[in-house]
Amino acid sequence: MRDVMGAIKDKASQSKAAILSKLSASASAASSSPYSLHLTLLRATTHDPFAPPPQKHLANLLSFGNSSRATASAAVESLMDRLQTTHDSAVAIKCLLAVHHVIKYGSFILQDQLAVYPAAGGRNYLNLSNFRDDSTPLAWELSSWVRWYAQYVENLLLTSRLLGFFLGSNSCTVDKEKEEDRVSALMNAELVRETESLVSLMEEICRRPVSLDLDGNRLMMEILGLVGEDQICAMNETIVRVNEFDERLSCLSLCDSVELLSALKRSEECEGRLLAVPNVKSDLVNGFWRLIKETVVKAAKVKEEEGNGKLVVAKRRHSLSESARFGDRDIRPSDSVRFPSGRPVSFGY
């Protein structure tokens, strides 16, 4: 009965929006009118808890990012308003799916407008931690997926903001060599922050609900498909940063080595809990975990040596006189400075 009522409500809302769209704008401008946007949004976020939005409706929604910035802003605002005002779990999760599509397939203008959510000092439109739909047992169970998916999309936006591009976006395909060059130019602290953010995203994937029976639910399978693609991108970006750390281990500070080791150990806990992504070779996944484990061992050794070294230096300084310490300040031809890339540069006379 709830599904029937939802279908009737969708039909009535869409019919009303279609009539208003025709009356409010000429045929040449109808595609960008407010009523046309409302109709497109209604068609992409129906009350059906099993069927994903048709691709043509999602494509129509994304097309509002192909014109002016004002139109793109209106599209994002309408999408967020529907997300915040609905009490239906199916509508809410389809709104989040539409947001995810903006991240992956939207134009630069549309993505730029989305990037302000959540904005510092403003309302967090993705904060759905209190979302509850108790109309049916299925809706109640689906509510847990709404809360998780909102948290995941927010985490994805925050990670993308830190990286400087939308992770997994088709419009922001990052050249591997250019990305490696950018990463090699980062300071150690920045590299640690990016690595921690990528690990946090993978941890969020591991927190997905497991109670819902996904057999036959094409909506949930499409969502997990998109998340799985993000997961592979996150793993690839993590590999780039871990390889860079491997070049820098000998010049990491104790603080950086501790934070790196913590992040890598957190990522190790995700093994066996991430999504099994189709069409991804197992040796690639196994190679990722092997790299993480090897770097954990190396980072732990560096951390131990760094800690012991600081203790030795402290004892030595305590025992030396001021005159003896002054003599140690002379620069010798063999002295070198190690840059973040791990390549030493010697100073000569």
pLDDT band at 219 (very low <50, low <70, confident <90, very high): very high
Fold for the domain defined by 1-173: 1.25.40
Cα torsion 94, 207, 112, 178: sign: negative
The SS3 call for residue 307 is helix
Q: Assess whether pLDDT exceeds 90 at residue 239.
A: yes
pLDDT band at 309 (very low <50, low <70, confident <90, very high): low
Mean pLDDT of 272-300: 92
Euclidean distance between CA atoms 135 and 116, whole angstroms: 33
Task: Pinpoint the residues of the chain covered by CATH 1.25.40.90.
Answer: 1-173
Mean pLDDT of 81-91: 95
Predicted confidence at residue 177, as pLDDT, reads: 75
Predicted confidence at residue 14, as pLDDT, reads: 46
Tokens of 174: 């990052």
- pLDDT tens for each residue of 12-23: 454 444 444 444
The two counts, helices (H) then strands (E), for the chain are 13, 2
Which residues contact residue 268 at a Cβ distance below 8 angstroms, ignoring those fewer than 6 apart? 289, 292, 293, 296
Q: Assess whether pLDDT exceeds 70 at residue 349.
A: no
Mean pLDDT of 244-254: 90
Euclidean distance between CA atoms 257 and 304, whole angstroms: 10
Cα dist from 165 to 79, 81, 134, 141, 180, whole Å: 22, 25, 38, 33, 14
Mean pLDDT of 264-270: 96
DSSP label of 337: E
Mean pLDDT of 320-349: 44
Q: Is the pTM above the cut of 0.85?
A: no
Mean pLDDT of 182-189: 94
Predicted confidence at residue 179, as pLDDT, reads: 85
Which residues contact residue 231 at a Cβ distance below 8 angstroms, ignoring those fewer than 6 apart? 202, 205, 274, 275, 277
Cα torsion 51, 54, 57, 62: sign: positive
